[in-house]
Chain A
Amino acid sequence: MVSETWLVLGAGSPIARAFAHAAAQAGHDVVLAGRDTQDLERTGADITVRTGARVRVEPFDAAALETHQGFVTACRDGAHGPLSVFIAFGLMPSQDAMDQDFSLARETMMVNYVGAVSVLAHLRPVLEAQGTGRIVALGSTAGERGRRKNYVYGSTKAGLHAYLQGLRAHLFAHGVRVVTVKPGFIDTGMTWSLGLRRTASPDALAAACLRWAYRGGEVHFFPWFWAPVMALVRILPESIAKRMRR
C-alpha cells in the first residue's frame, strides 16, 4: 500500500482519534485538524509515541468558511504522498434545544453541511490533480428519514449524503474514491447520556472506515445490521411515519 497523508477533519472526536490511530498504524502520515488544537497536540503525541508515524496538527474550524482555502493549501503543501480525507466533524444538539434557539440550528447546519461542502469544494481540485486518494465521510442513519426527534441534524446529514453522491460521481472520473459511512450508535460522548445497552466501539468503526477506504464500495452502514433496518425505515410510508412520536 502506498503511504499517504490522511487529513482527519474534526480530529477531536473519539471516532476520528481512533481513525487517525488506525491510519498511522497502517503506515500513513496523519494531519489532525480541528478547533481544540491543544487537545489535538496530545492525540498527535500519543499517535507518534505508539506508532512512530509523522503527525501534524492544523487548526480547522468548519464554520469559518473564509479560512478553508488557506487551510487546504497548508495541508497540501505539508503532505507526504497523496492526500486522503476523513471527515468526522459535526454538531448534534438536541432537537428541543434547536427548536428554542434557532442560532443553534443555524450553527449545526453551518458546520455539518455548509462547512463540509465548503472544505470539500476546496479539497476537490487538489484530489483531482493528484488523480488518486480517497474521501471517507461520516454520514448518519439520522439522515435516512426526518424524524421528530432530530430532524435538523438529520436534514444536514441527508443533504451531505446527496452532496457526497454527486461528488463521488465527479471524482470517480479522476480516480478518487468517495465513501460514505453511516454509523448507528457508537460509544462516544454523543451517545453516552442515552445510556444505551449496546453500542459499537469507535475503534471498530475506525477500522471499518479504513478498510472501506481502500476496498471500495460507496455507502456503508456500521454495524452492518443498520443496512436492513434503514431499508425498512426508508420504505415506511409518510402517513405512518408522521404518527410516530420519536
Chain B
Amino acid sequence: MSIWRRMELEGWGHTHRVEAQVGRPEREREMVAALHGSTGGTITARGAGRSYGDAALNQGGFVVLTERLNRVLALDVETASVVCEAGVLFRDLIDLCMPHGLLPPVCPGTAYVSVGGAIANDIHGKNHDAVGSMGAHVRWLDLLLPSGKVQRVDRESDPELFASTCGGVGLTGIILRACLQLLRVPSAHVRVREQRISDLDGFIEALREARTSAAYSVGWLDGLARGSNLGRGILRTGAFIAEPVGLARPARRPQVPFDLPGWVLNPFSMRAFNAIYLRSAPRSPRTYLAPVDRYFFPLDAIGHWNRMYGKRGFYQFQCVLPDAEAPTGLRALLDAVSASGDGSFLNVLKTLGQGSGGYLAFPIPGFTLAIDIRRSRRADALMQTLAGITVHHGGRVYLAKDETLDPRSFATMYPGLDRFRDVIERVDPEHRMSSDQDRRLRIGRW
C-alpha cells in the first residue's frame, strides 16, 4: 500500500497545475515515514492550499498534506494559549476559542487557513500595528527537520531556526505542532465604523490616524478608479464591544459552483461593480455591529470565490511600502493597475507595524496594498511593472501571494535572506525541502 498518490495541485489563484506525489499522513509517525519515503525528489508541506501562488507546490517532487493532522491538543483558558497540530484550520480554532472569550491575535482575511501555513507565511491581520504578525504569538513549535528529527523550537532555544521558520515558507522543515498565545476579547461582536474615502491622500491620512485610534482597520480600494478618483474606497475600522450580545449563528454561505467563463469579469463589469460597491458605504461615516466572522473574514462570504476569475485564474499582487514612500509608491502602483484595466474588486489597503524578526517575514512598518489581477495576456508584464515599482520604493512582495517575482528583486527585498540561508545550510544541507517558489526565487538554494 503506497502512501503516495500522483495528483495535480494548484495555488489558490489557480493559474496553473503541477503534478506531484502527494501524501496525506494521518498521524505523526506517518508524517515522519513520508519524509523518509520521499526519495528521489524534494518535499514540501501544504496546509489548506490558500497560498495564491506556488509556495505550496512542488512540481515533480513530493507534497505532504497536513489536513489530517488537525487535532487540538490543549486549550488553556487561564493562560489564554492553545496547542494544536499544524493542520488545524483557523475556522476550527475560532469556533473553539470564541465561547471562552479567546481569539487568535492574528486573523487573516479568510478563516480557512491552517495553523502551519499561517506560521510558515507569518501572516498578518487588520491589527498588525498593535499586535504584530503570527510569529509574534507562537510560543513554540515542533518542527520535523529534514533529517527526520523532531525539534521543539522557540525564541530562546534556537532563535535563528525560529526566525527562519516563522515566515520561512516551509523550507526549514515540516511544522507538526505549535503553541499559540491567544487574545482575550470581551465579546464576539465588533463595532465597525465605515467611512467612504474620496482619494489616495485621504486614505493614507485616515489609515495613519486609525493606527492609533482603532484596534482593527482595513481599507477597500476601487482599483479601477483614475485621475482625481484614484485611491478612493471604503475604510472600515473596528473594535470589540465590551458587552457580549450572544454568539452569532454561522450563516450558510453561497458558493461559486464552477469556474465562471473568462468574459464575466471584464473591465466594464468590474468598473461597474466597484462604482456600485463604493456607494454601499454612505458619504458620511456610519457605525454598525458585526459578528466576528463578517468583519474579519469578508473573503469567506462566498465559497470558492477564486472561481470567479475563470479557468485562467488570477494573480494577487501584495506588497508593503515603507511609510515615507507610501504616498508616491502607492500612486505609482495604482496608476499602473488602473491603466492596465486588469485590476478587479478585491483590493485592500492596510497599515503594518514593526516586523516580527522573521528572516523572510513580510511585514515592515508602512502600507500594504493587495490587488487581484485577472490573468490576461498582459498580466505578467503588469506584475513585473508592479514588482519594479515596489523595489524602487524600498518595499517588498508577500511570498504567500507571489508567483511571478524574479530572484534578484526577491533578494533585494529581503535583506534577511543571507541569515536565512545560513540556517538552511545548517538544518537542510542536502536541500530536501523545496517548492516551486523556492526554485523560482532561489530562496534556500542559490
Partners in one complex: yes
Seen from chain A, the residues whose Cβ lies within 8 Å of a Cβ on chain B are 12-14, 36, 38-39, 42-43, 45-46, 49-50, 92-94, 188-190, 192-195
A12-B2 Cα distance, complex, nearest whole Å: 18
B440 lies within 8 A of chain A by Cβ: no
* Closest B residue by C-beta to A188: B26
> In the complex the two chains form, is B27's CB within 8 Å of A12's CB?
yes
Q: What string of 1s and 0s marks CB contacts (under 8 Å) between B50-81 and chain A?
A: 00000000000000000010011111000000
**B92 CB → nearest A CB, Å:** 9
Q: Which among B29, B30, B68, B75 has the greatest number of chain A C-beta atoms within 10 A? A: B68
> In the complex the two chains form, is A193's CB within 8 Å of B73's CB?
no
A182-B107 Cα distance, complex, nearest whole Å: 42
A192 and B71 in contact (CB under 8 A), knowing A39-B27, A39-B28, A50-B96?
A: no
B contact residues, range: 20 to 34
> In the complex the two chains form, is B72's CB within 8 Å of A94's CB?
no
A195 and B5 in contact (CB under 8 A), knowing A14-B68, A39-B27?
A: yes
Chain A residues closer than 8 Å to B7, beta-carbon distance: 195
Chain A residues closer than 8 Å to B297, beta-carbon distance: none
Chain A residues closer than 8 Å to B26, beta-carbon distance: 12-14, 188-189
A194-B4 Cα distance, complex, nearest whole Å: 9
**B86 CB → nearest A CB, Å:** 12
B6 lies within 8 A of chain A by Cβ: yes
Dominant secondary structure at the A interface: helix
A188-B1 Cα distance, complex, nearest whole Å: 12
Seen from chain B, the residues whose Cβ lies within 8 Å of a Cβ on chain A are 1-7, 23-30, 68, 71-75, 85, 96
* Closest B residue by C-beta to A97: B1
- Give the number of A-B contacts (CB < 8 Å): 55
- Interface CB pairs A-B, < 8 A, 29: A12-B27, A13-B26, A36-B27, A39-B27, A39-B28, A42-B28, A42-B71, A43-B71, A45-B71, A45-B72, A46-B71, A49-B72, A49-B73, A49-B74, A49-B75, A49-B96, A50-B96, A92-B1, A189-B3, A189-B24, A189-B26, A189-B30, A192-B3, A192-B23, A193-B1, A193-B2, A193-B3, A193-B4, A194-B5
* Closest B residue by C-beta to A41: B73
> In the complex the two chains form, is A94's CB within 8 Å of B1's CB?
yes
**B412 CB → nearest A CB, Å:** 42
**B64 CB → nearest A CB, Å:** 12
Chain B residues closer than 8 Å to A194, beta-carbon distance: 5
